Chains A and B, each alone.
With several copies, the nearest count.
Chain A
Amino acid sequence: MVNEILKSSDEVSTNQSQITITNLYKTFERDGKEKEVLRDINLNFKKGEFISLLGPSGCGKSTLLKLIGGLITKSTGSIQIDSQEVKDPISKVGFMFQKAVLLPWRTVEQNLILPIELAKGNIAEAKLRIKDLLSLVGLEGYEHYYPNELSGGMQQRISLARTLMTNPDILLLDEPFGALDEFTRENLNFSLMDIAEKSGKTVVLVTHSISEAVLMSDRIIVMGINPGHILEDMKIDFQKPRTDKIIATEKYAQYMLHIRDLLGVGR
């Protein structure tokens, strides 16, 4: 069913680079002082890849994601999506934030329609897809609820569904389930993995959780702080579809300990 709603624009996921970041620097000005937040970032994300950005608070993960999404402007360097330099937000990129930010005065349905309205798209046609999207995130029948009638986890599911409404090729997710408790979060993570895998979307996920990153990603970009830079670009090599059985593997433990070591967690 996923494949019907979220058709991949290319038939096969090719191996070429979809997001290319070269010599990227980002500096913020505050109180007249310059602060370097990202230094010399070089990355290539392939179509269909599931990438996690992992690093301590303040290392610039959100900043990097916003740069890729065209929400803020870079200082120097280049960011290209499908060989086009990113200047402004583009519609083939979908963004999702830590908070669900649903509009409280709109029903679930009206919230889902919002991106179509803003893009002056075909609303009637979009409405037809709502039912399928809601069942995809496990909330069929909630069309006419208001956000404050839903739990935090349900709100995040709606937020995910809204991101999928425009069927973007690339999903940029900034700690999308960070505000939820661990059990709810893991369930949503598995839904997300399903959707990404089956529709062949490229996913860049910012997370604080090492186990989450290892469980879900094809690649993990481990970042350091002051200024934000890349510590290691790790390939996570498990077969798909993933199950939590990999927790019991030697490889999993090695990945975990290696990243903990890189980030200086535990003892």
Chain B
Amino acid sequence: MKAITTSEQEIKIPKPKIIRIEYLLSLLLLVFILVLWEVLSRFKIVHELILPGPMVVIGSMFELLAAPFFYSNLGVTLFETLAGFALGSIFSIVLALIVVSVPILYKVLNPFIIILQAVPKVALAPIFVTWFGFGLTAKIVMAIAICFFPTFINTVVGLKSVDEDSKLLFQSMVASKKDLFLKLSLPTALPYIFAGLKASLTFALIGAIVGEFMGADKGIGMLINTFNFQLEMDKVYALIIILSIIALLLYLFIEWLDKKIVFWTDNK
């Protein structure tokens, strides 16, 4: 626990320059962009159907946040994302473990992995809809497909990156295969696995959204489609902003988890 508290303390002591000038400038830039945007829209320089003003968009955002249906749709998208992420991650980690521990399997599957990795997964969306229908399944499968490879590849690389010295050490201490795996290979691979998971989670959200674009009863992607269809562009923009915030939160969450679990890479 020591390492974590030390590094946390380090984070807790920023330079005590009251408010940092960069932050002020960033804020100023933000305000400038918003004002420019509002002017563009207020004076009809850009049609409101193309780009509604920021005030309208922010208003719609709160309107959406107040509507109960928003949360049920958000729930569905999050469920698809997280279910796809969880299943995809479990599949990929388990498969990576199997493939690394059976070298011949790795060699036989390798050409398939290279080819499947190259498949643009979003192009599979129509096929998944055909196979799995318009319910949640197709979106979850999409999320799985799109987030399988980052974690899989990283787990394989991580498990293979155990250095020779450590292996020799374990060998010299007469370690069993199981101990070698549990106490050396797996922890060594953890930082790599997390790097894969980090990429995956955002990909899973993208997978769910693309799946919903192809047709869905529920979900944020469906809402974007619906509002777009009804020409309520302010709501479309509001949804995209909300979606971005969700993506950011998911990313920050997994990064936090990474720091907590793989604490020993902190100081690198």
Direct contact between A and B in the complex (CB less than 8 angstroms)?
A: yes
User: Given A115-B173, A118-B179, are A149 and B2 neighbors across the interface (CB < 8 Å)?
Assistant: yes
Tell whether B6 is near chain A: CB-to-CB under 8 Å. Answer: yes
**B1-32, CB under 8 A of A: which get 1 and which 0?**
11100100000010110000000000000000
Q: CB distance B173 to A118 under 8 Å? A: yes
In the assembled complex, the Cα of A97 lies from the Cα of B169 at a distance in Å of 8
Tell whether B97 is near chain A: CB-to-CB under 8 Å. Answer: no
Tell whether A145 is near chain B: CB-to-CB under 8 Å. Answer: yes
Closest A residue to B175 by CB, please name it: A118
Closest B residue to A90 by CB, please name it: B174
> For residues 119 through 168 of chain A, which have their beta carbon under 8 Å from a beta carbon of chain B?
119, 144-149, 166
Using a CB–CB distance below 8 Å, which chain B residues touch chain A?
A: 1-3, 6, 13, 15-16, 163, 165-166, 168-176, 179, 183-184, 187, 190, 263-267
> In the complex, how many residues of chain A place their beta carbon closer than 8 angstroms to a beta carbon of chain B?
32
Q: CB distance B172 to A117 under 8 Å? A: no
Tell whether A107 is near chain B: CB-to-CB under 8 Å. Answer: yes
Q: Which of A89, A103, A118, A145 has the most CB of B within 10 A?
A: A118
Using a CB–CB distance below 8 Å, which chain A residues touch chain B?
A: 31-32, 66, 69, 71, 88-91, 93-95, 97-99, 101, 103-105, 107, 114-115, 117-119, 144-149, 166
The total of Cβ contacts below 8 Å across the A-B interface reads 70
A-B contact pairs, 28 of them (CB 8 A): A31-B13, A32-B15, A66-B168, A69-B172, A71-B172, A88-B174, A89-B171, A89-B174, A93-B172, A94-B172, A97-B169, A99-B165, A103-B166, A103-B184, A104-B264, A105-B187, A105-B263, A114-B173, A115-B173, A118-B175, A118-B176, A119-B174, A144-B1, A147-B264, A148-B3, A148-B266, A149-B3, A166-B173
Q: CB distance A101 to B187 under 8 Å? A: no
- Please pick, from A71, A98, A145, the residue contacting B2 in the complex, using a CB distance under 8 A: A145
In the assembled complex, the Cα of A254 lies from the Cα of B165 at a distance in Å of 37
Q: CB distance B187 to A71 under 8 Å? A: no
Q: CB distance A97 to B168 under 8 Å? A: yes
Q: For residue A95, which residues in chain B have a CB less than 8 angstroms away from its CB? A: 168-169, 172-173
In the assembled complex, the Cα of A166 lies from the Cα of B175 at a distance in Å of 13
In the assembled complex, the Cα of A101 lies from the Cα of B165 at a distance in Å of 7
In the assembled complex, the Cα of A99 lies from the Cα of B169 at a distance in Å of 10
Q: For residue A147, which residues in chain B have a CB less than 8 angstroms away from its CB? A: 264
Q: CB distance B168 to A71 under 8 Å? A: yes
Q: CB distance A101 to B169 under 8 Å? A: yes
- Please pick, from A90, A97, A149, the residue contacting B6 in the complex, using a CB distance under 8 A: A149
In the assembled complex, the Cα of A104 lies from the Cα of B166 at a distance in Å of 11
Q: For residue B2, which residues in chain A have a CB less than 8 angstroms away from its CB? A: 107, 144-146, 149
User: Given A101-B165, A149-B6, are A71 and B264 neighbors across the interface (CB < 8 Å)?
Assistant: no
Closest A residue to B268 by CB, please name it: A148
In the assembled complex, the Cα of A90 lies from the Cα of B172 at a distance in Å of 8
Going nearest first, the 4 A-B pairs with the smallest beta carbon separation are: A95-B172, A104-B264, A146-B3, A118-B175
Q: Which of A94, A95, A103 has the most CB of B within 10 A?
A: A103
Q: For residue A146, which residues in chain B have a CB less than 8 angstroms away from its CB? A: 2-3, 264
Q: For residue B265, which residues in chain A have a CB less than 8 angstroms away from its CB? A: 104
In the assembled complex, the Cα of A147 lies from the Cα of B166 at a distance in Å of 14
